[in-house]
Amino acid sequence: MSDSPRTAALLLTFARRGEEEAIRQALAALREAAPGADIVAIGTPVSTPVLMNLGVDDIIIYGDGRGARSVVREARGRRPAAAAVVYWGPGFSAHLKLELLVLLCGPPRVLRLAPEAPVSAIGRPRLALSVIGKTLAAGALALAGAALCGTALICLRLRQILAGGHRAPRA
């Protein structure tokens, strides 16, 4: 017998209330995509009881002082044959953190699940484009917010200067 670890199938979800059925579908899809693999979830201490009750074989805990680097290292060490990302809501928006985590863990097959939606496979290039697009969108929003705050600060400072500076009497 080999001492090498068994192949794993990764489940990535925030395990929010209302995602239980999508998680069950993800578990079934992972068992079909990687027969005989251990189903390993990447979860938080809060999501652990929910994931264990739904039938996950093992959980890699993120949080409680454990950083992303060690979680990714452990997940890659499990040699994931497939991964499933469970999305909140009907679309595939948000979840940048989970998608990036899937890319870093390196499974050859990635499944996407949203509540009340069919399971869909996504290729690594398309997933990478999704991560890049979401990162650029988040960056653009951050820049827009910074520009708005900067403009507001300039307007407030100009108003203060026009009113006589910081030594102007207060009303």
DSSP assignment of 35-58 equals TT-EEEEEE-TTTHHHHHHTT-SE
- How far is the first Cα of the chain from the last one, in angstroms, to the nearest whole number? 84
Domain range for 89 is 8-122
Residue 112 shares a structural domain with residue 84: yes
pLDDT number for residue 167? 62
Residue 89 shares a structural domain with residue 19: yes
Number of folded domains that form the chain:
2
Is residue 78 within 8 Å of 8, Cβ to Cβ? yes
Any domain includes 2? no
CATH number for position 36: 3.40.50.2000
Write the pLDDT tens digit of every residue in 86-113: 887 656 666 888 889 899 998 999 998 8
**Nearest of 108, 98, 83, 92 to residue 26 by alpha carbon:** 83
Residue 85 shares a structural domain with residue 105: yes
Write the pLDDT tens digit of every residue in 77-89: 888 999 999 887 6
